[in-house]
Every structure is written in structure tokens, then in C-alpha cells.
């Protein structure tokens, strides 16, 4: 019998049915039968490893080319970036994937593929982490499998973090959501859980999971010296700080970021693009958590988001390009507009990986500059304006001291007589000219410092799934998007629960207002 995606709750709980088959079983998924069987060391390890997969940019993990359902790839780039004033669907507008246009124009309804895909990817991740936790919390797991206490604790810490990460995405995008904390074995139990828990309860669970994870993971930069992609204690502390940020716990943000600073594990990379350079992965100083894409793996683990980049998807808005200060290196490192290379997503500055559906570059989720700007925001909110400005100036100093690489197209020597045959040639350019990104001066005006912070986050974190969440939590999404020519309504502060899920739950799963 195959697993059917009848409702998202049933997705999350991996119940079986012979009806309503919408997808094939995702590669690498632990099934409930496996969870109920006698655990082995291999099955325990696999249950945790597969829990990472829903963070991947791999194509078609939950279905085969279900574009309208939003299932071809993880939809955070659409929900967080295309929905914002930073990104357009394509370099040349067309009718392809009109559901993305609906997100961009705020004409989407509860049947749109964007929220549907985001919901399904996150609940699939939660299903997998719950199965992993069910294994690892078995009091006899060490004697049954031979796993060491140290390894068990590490895997537990990873699973708790991953579950909290998936719930973080859900609660920030949908508000109240079903809170599923263990595998469920019957339809009745599933439908009993098909109700939305208050967002305050979900936030509390996220914090509980992260605090538990923090106590289980080793006090090292990497949890594993041979598998540096695994969740680390630093990633846990960072997500705790982000949780505090989204709940306006300013003291908590400051304390947690300071704790992360004192570990000495992280610092700003000298070159801004080292965060994204596929040749610097796990050798830089700044990335705290990323998904490890691997080319030609079996099953596939490559970065599939590079494929639509080759099909003309994901272009900067005119407003985004105009928002950068003169000579800011971060503009070119984010996107080379003349060449239509989204460098930050490609992991290259010469167009490499563009069009590759199995690219090797990682997806960065948390990095140190982002975390430091959380602290700057908290300091500003609590009246420490000088401390906030100092951090903003740290970020600006790194940017203005970043040497850019310049890529130009020259005649391909293999085809000297064909002007259409060119190749990219990359060289190291000069540093930005004097006066680029000058330090912000001292100010005792909270609003002024906040405006500097907003501008800095946009320049520093463009195309990193941060812009729309930032606008919403700052309470300025309607103002900014209206100025951008979009009709942003109050209901758009949250996305709709996928209507198919509401319908399949017989109304137990209620819809967000306005949809």
C-alpha cells in the first residue's frame, strides 16, 4: 500500500490508504511501518537524515512536476521573495506559472500552489522528525541498536531543531496551525488532531524543542567533524534568538546573540560572497546553518532551484536594484542584472550552475550577519542606539571592504568567426572607491536608526527569504507594498490554509479570515 496525501495531517502522520493517490512516496522517507518495526542503527540514522530533506532545493520530492500544487520545489523563495518588493517571477514577464504571479500581485486565493506547497513541505518534515524522535526516545534504543549515548543525544538535538524549524515556517506564515508532536496511527486520531493550535502554543513548543536541543548538542562549531552539514548548537542558539525576535523579546534576543558571540565559532567573512561561494562551503566563518546539496548523489541531493534560474525565473525588481547605495558590492554579488545571473542562488559569479537541476551549491538558512542585525534591532528597540549603530557599521564595513569579481563576455576562441559564441571571463576587480558605504553617524533617534537597519537588512539579505517576513513583523508590509504598486490587504499578513486541506478535514481545519 502506498502513502496517500489526503490531508496535510495525513501527510504529516504518514497514514496509509488505497484512495486518492496524488503523489508517489518521497524518496528517503521513513514510513510508519518502519517506525513501528524493530529499530536498527541504520533506520535510526536514516530517520534523522531524511528529516533534513524538506529543507532541500531538490526538485520533485513530493510529486512529479506538480507546478500548480506548488510541489516542484520548496516555496520559500516565492512566499518570501517574489511576494516582496525585491523579486519578480521572471526577467521577461509571461503567463508561465500564473500562480506565482498571483503571489506577486496579492490576488491569490486559498487554492494557490504557493501556500499549499509550503504547508505540505513543512508537515512532511514534521512527520519525519516525529518518527525520528519516536525512535530516539525509546528508553531501550541504545540496547536495541548499539547506538552510543553521545550519538543518540546528538541526533535527538538535530531532530528537535528540525521540528522547530518547520513549525517556525508554519506559524509565521499561517498563524495558528495543527501541532503534531508524535506519529499517529489511526484515522480517528488524525482527524482529532486536524485542529489549529493557538500560535502562542506553537511558539512555546518551538522554544521548548530548541531549549531541549541546546542541552543535547556538543559545545563545538560542528556537531560532527566529518558531517559539517548537521545541526549544531550554534544553529540552535541562533534559532532561539530568531524566535525571541519574532516575539519581540528584545532582552532574549540580546542575551542569546551575545551567547553565540562568546562561543567564538563565527565571524563575518572578509568577503561577502564567501557565504554563498560553492567553493567555500564549510570553510567560511559566517554560515551557521545550511542545507548540504551534493551533485550526482543517489538518491539525488542536488540544488534544483538552479534549473528554473536557467528558464528565466527569479529576477530582481527595479526597486530592489535601485535601493542599493552607490558601489555597494552586495548588489552585484546578489544579482548580475546585465547577464541575468542570480549569483547568490547560483553559488557562482560566472553563471555556473545556471540551468542545472542537480547543482552542488548549498542553501544558506542562517548566517552570522543576519544574527548580528537581530541584535542591532533589539538594542535599538531598548534604547541602546549606539550599540545598534556599531553593529550596522560592522556589516557596512565588511561590505565596503569586499573586493568584487568582474565577469565579462569575450569571444570564444574556439569560434573566432562567430560573434554569437562568447564565454564568460572572470577577474578580480578593484576594491570599492573611497566613500563607499560610509559609517552611519551617531544618533539618538530610534526611528532614524530603525530606517538604517531596514535598509541594511535589505541590502545584506536580499534574495535570502527574509524580506517579506521582515516587512510583516515590522508592521510595514502594507505601506511598502502599496508604494510598490500592490494591493496588500490586512488578510495578507497570513497566507490561507490550503483549501483542499480545509475541505478534506470536513471543516475541522478552519480557514484564515478573508479567504
| Residue 183 lies inside a defined structural domain of this protein | yes
In this model, does residue 7 exceed pLDDT 70?
Answer: no
Q: How far apart are alpha carbons 120 and 15 in whole angstroms?
A: 15
Q: Which residues, including other chains, have CB under 8 Å from residue 338's CB and lie 6 or more apart? A: none
Query: Residue 419 — pLDDT band, cuts 50, 70, 90?
Result: confident
Residue 14 is given by DSSP the state T
Provide mean pLDDT across the span 355-368.
98
Q: Which is nearest to 291 in space by CA: 396, 380, 364?
A: 364
Q: What is the C-alpha end-to-end distance of the chain, expressed in Å?
A: 35
- Alpha helices (runs of H) in 272-367, residue ranges in sequence order: 306-309, 318-322, 329-334, 343-346
Among residues of the chain, what percentage have pLDDT more than 70? 92
- Structure-block grid coordinates of residue 214: 541546546
> What per-residue confidence (pLDDT) applies to 36?
58
> What per-residue confidence (pLDDT) applies to 72?
97
Phi, psi at 112, each rounded to 5°: -70, 145
Provide mean pLDDT across the span 23-44.
63
Weakest mean pLDDT among 189-193, 348-352, 394-398, 482-486: 189-193
Residues 164 and 16 in one domain: yes
> What per-residue confidence (pLDDT) applies to 507?
86
CA angle 208, 211, 215 (to 5 degrees): 140
In this model, does residue 20 exceed pLDDT 70?
Answer: no
Provide mean pLDDT across the span 164-182.
97
Q: How far apart are alpha carbons 425 and 441 in whole angstroms?
A: 39
Residues 443 and 500 in one domain: no
Q: Is the dihedral of CA 311, 316, 321, 324 positive or negative?
A: negative
Q: How far is residue 74 from each of residues 172, 247, 305, 354, 466, measured CA to CA in Å?
A: 16, 25, 9, 18, 15
Q: How far apart are alpha carbons 351 and 331 in whole angstroms?
A: 16
In this model, does residue 24 exceed pLDDT 90?
Answer: no
| Residue 221 lies inside a defined structural domain of this protein | no
In this model, does residue 191 exceed pLDDT 70?
Answer: yes
Q: How far apart are alpha carbons 88 and 389 in whole angstroms?
A: 32
Provide mean pLDDT across the span 72-79.
96
In this model, does residue 363 exceed pLDDT 70?
Answer: yes
Q: pLDDT per residue over 256-287, tens digit each?
A: 999 999 999 999 999 999 999 999 999 999 99
Provide mean pLDDT across the span 38-43.
93
Residues 32 and 163 in one domain: yes
In this model, does residue 35 exceed pLDDT 70?
Answer: no
Provide mean pLDDT across the span 117-124.
97
Residues 446 and 427 in one domain: yes
Beta bridge pairs of residue 278 = none
Q: How far apart are alpha carbons 161 and 236 in whole angstroms?
A: 6
> What per-residue confidence (pLDDT) applies to 8?
45
Query: Residue 33 — pLDDT band, cuts 50, 70, 90?
Result: low
Tally of structural domains, the chain: 2
CATH number of the domain bearing residue 35? 1.25.40
**Environment class of 354 (CB within 10 Å of its CB; exposed 0-12, middle 13-18, buried 19+):** buried
| Residue 235 lies inside a defined structural domain of this protein | no
Residues 402 and 481 in one domain: no
**Environment class of 1 (CB within 10 Å of its CB; exposed 0-12, middle 13-18, buried 19+):** exposed
In this model, does residue 31 exceed pLDDT 70?
Answer: no
Residues 313 and 382 in one domain: yes
Residue 365 exposure: Cα atoms within 13 Å on the Cβ side: 27
- Structure-block grid coordinates of residue 97: 506559472
**Mode of pairing for the β-strands spanning 422-428 and 405-411:** antiparallel
Among residues of the chain, what percentage have pLDDT more than 90? 84
| Residue 250 lies inside a defined structural domain of this protein | no
| Other CB atoms within 10 Å distance of the CB of residue 114 | 24
Q: Is the dihedral of CA 107, 111, 112, 117 positive or negative?
A: positive
In this model, does residue 319 exceed pLDDT 60?
Answer: yes
| Residue 483 lies inside a defined structural domain of this protein | yes
> What per-residue confidence (pLDDT) applies to 16?
31
> What per-residue confidence (pLDDT) applies to 11?
41
Q: pLDDT per residue over 91-118, tens digit each?
A: 999 999 999 999 999 999 999 999 999 9
Q: Is the dihedral of CA 341, 347, 353, 356 positive or negative?
A: negative
CATH number of the domain bearing residue 338? 1.25.40.390
> What per-residue confidence (pLDDT) applies to 62?
96
Q: Which residues, including other chains, have CB under 8 Å from residue 467's CB and lie 6 or more apart? A: 80, 81, 84, 85, 86, 87, 458, 461
Q: How far apart are alpha carbons 24 and 493 in whole angstroms?
A: 33
Q: How far apart are alpha carbons 250 and 36 in whole angstroms?
A: 43
DSSP secondary structure letters along 350-382: SSTTTT-TTB---EEEEEHHHHHHHHHHHHHHT
| Residue 233 lies inside a defined structural domain of this protein | no
Query: Residue 370 — pLDDT band, cuts 50, 70, 90?
Result: very high
| Residue 210 lies inside a defined structural domain of this protein | no
Residues 59 and 176 in one domain: yes
Residues 400 and 441 in one domain: yes
In this model, does residue 389 exceed pLDDT 50?
Answer: yes
Provide mean pLDDT across the span 173-178.
98
Residues 386 and 325 in one domain: yes
In this model, does residue 30 exceed pLDDT 90?
Answer: no
Q: pLDDT per residue over 133-156, tens digit each?
A: 999 999 999 999 999 999 999 999
Instruction: Identify the domain containing residue 347 by its residue range.
Output: 267-464
| Residue 276 lies inside a defined structural domain of this protein | yes
Q: Which is nearest to 165 in space by CA: 290, 260, 278?
A: 290
In this model, does residue 407 exceed pLDDT 80?
Answer: no
Residues 293 and 430 in one domain: yes
> What per-residue confidence (pLDDT) applies to 13?
43
* Mean pLDDT score across all residues of the chain: 92
Query: Residue 383 — pLDDT band, cuts 50, 70, 90?
Result: very high
Residues 426 and 297 in one domain: yes
Provide mean pLDDT across the span 477-495.
98
Asked if 157 and 149 count as a contact pair (C-beta separation under 8 A), the reply is: no
| Other CB atoms within 10 Å distance of the CB of residue 112 | 24
Residues 194 and 115 in one domain: yes
Q: For residues 280 and 428, which has the higher predicted lDDT (pLDDT)?
A: 280
The structure's pTM equals 0.92
Query: Residue 449 — pLDDT band, cuts 50, 70, 90?
Result: very high
Amino acid at each position: 500500500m502506498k502513502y496517500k496525501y489526503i490531508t496535510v495531517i495525513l501527510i504529516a502522520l504518514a497514514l496509509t490508504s488505497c484512495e486518492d493517490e496524488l503523489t508517489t512516496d518521497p524518496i528517503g522517507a521513513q514510513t510508519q511501518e518502519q517506525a513501528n518495526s524493530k529499530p536498527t542503527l541504520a533506520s535510526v540514522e536514516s530517520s534523522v537524515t531524511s528529516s533534513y530533506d524538506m529543507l532541500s532545493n531538490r526538485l520533485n520530492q513530493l510529486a512529479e512536476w506538480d507546478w500548480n500544487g506548488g510541489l516542484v520545489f520548496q516555496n520559500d523563495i516565492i512566499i518570501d521573495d517574489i511576494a516582496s518588493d525585491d523579486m519578480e517571477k521572471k526577467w521577461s514577464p509571461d503567463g508561465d506559472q500564473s500562480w506565482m504571479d498571483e503571489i506577486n500581485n496579492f490576488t491569490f486565493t486559498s487554492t494557490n500552489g504557493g501556500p499549499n506547497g509550503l504547508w505540505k513541505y513543512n508537515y512532511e518534515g514534521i512527520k519525519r522528525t516525529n518518527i525520528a524522535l519516536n525512535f530516539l526516545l525509546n528508553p531501550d534504543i541504545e540496547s536495541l541498536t548499539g547506538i552510543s549515548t553521545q550519538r543518540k543525544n546528538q541526533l535527538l538535538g538535530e531532530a528537535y531543531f528540525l521540528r522547530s524549524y518547520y513549525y517556525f515556517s508554519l506559524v509565521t506564515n499561517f498563524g495558528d496551525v495543527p501541532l503534531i508532536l508524535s506519529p499517529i496511527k489511526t484515522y480517528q486520531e488524525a482527524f482529532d488532531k486536524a485542529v489549529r493550535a493557538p500560535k502562542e502554543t506553537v511558539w512555546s513548543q518551538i522554544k521548548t524543542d530548541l531549549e531541549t536541543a541546546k542541552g543535547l548538542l556538543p559545545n563545538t562549531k560542528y556537531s560532527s567533524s566529518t558531517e559539517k552539514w548537521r545541526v549544531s548548537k550554534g544553529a540552535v542558539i541562533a534559532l532561539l534568538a530568531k524566535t525571541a525576535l519574532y516575539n519581540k523579546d528584545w532582552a532574549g534576543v540580546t542575551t542569546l546573540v551575545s551567547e553565540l558571540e562568546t562561543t567564538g565559532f563565527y565571524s563575518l567573512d572578509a568577503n561577502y560572497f564567501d557565504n554563498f561561494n560553492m567553493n567555500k562551503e564549510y570553510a567560511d566563518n559566517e554560515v551557521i546553518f545550511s542545507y548540504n546539496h551534493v551533485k550526482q548523489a543517489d538518491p539525488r541531493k542536488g540544488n534544483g532551484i538552479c534549473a528554473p534560474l536557467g528558464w528565466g525565473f527569479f529576477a530582481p525588481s527595479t526597486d530592489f536594484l535601485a535601493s542599493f547605495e552607490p558601489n555597494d558590492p552586495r548588489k552585484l554579488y546578489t544579482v548580475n542584472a546585465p547577464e541575468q545571473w542570480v549569483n547568490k542562488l547560483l553559488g557562482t559569479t560566472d553563471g555556473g550552475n545556471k540551468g542545472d537541476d542537480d547543482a552542488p551549491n548549498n542553501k544558506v538558512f542562517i548566517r552570522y550577519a543576519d544574527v548580528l542585525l537581530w541584535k542591532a534591532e533589539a538594542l535599538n528597540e531598548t534604547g541602546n542606539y549606539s550599540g545598534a549603530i556599531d553593529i550596522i557599521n560592522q556589516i557596512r564595513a565588511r561590505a565596503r571592504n569586499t573586493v568584487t569579481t568582474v565577469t565579462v563576455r569575450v569571444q570564444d576562441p574556439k569560434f573566432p568567426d562567430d560573434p554569437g559564441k562568447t564565454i564568460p571571463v572572470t577577474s578580480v576587480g578593484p576594491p570599492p572607491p573611497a566613500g563607499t558605504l560610509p559609517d552611519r553617524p551617531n544618533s539618538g533617534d530610534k526611528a532614524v536608526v530603525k530606517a538604517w537597519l531596514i535598509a541594511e537588512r535589505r541590502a545584506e539579505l536580499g534574495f535570502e527569504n527574509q524580506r517579506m517576513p521582515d516587512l510583516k513583523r515590522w508592521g510595514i508590509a502594507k505601506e511598502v507594498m502599496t508604494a510598490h504598486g500592490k494591493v496588500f490587504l490586512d488578510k495578507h499578513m497570513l497566507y490561507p490554509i490550503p483549501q483542499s486541506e480545509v475541505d478534506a478535514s470536513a471543516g475541522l481545519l478552519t480557514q484564515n479570515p478573508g479567504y
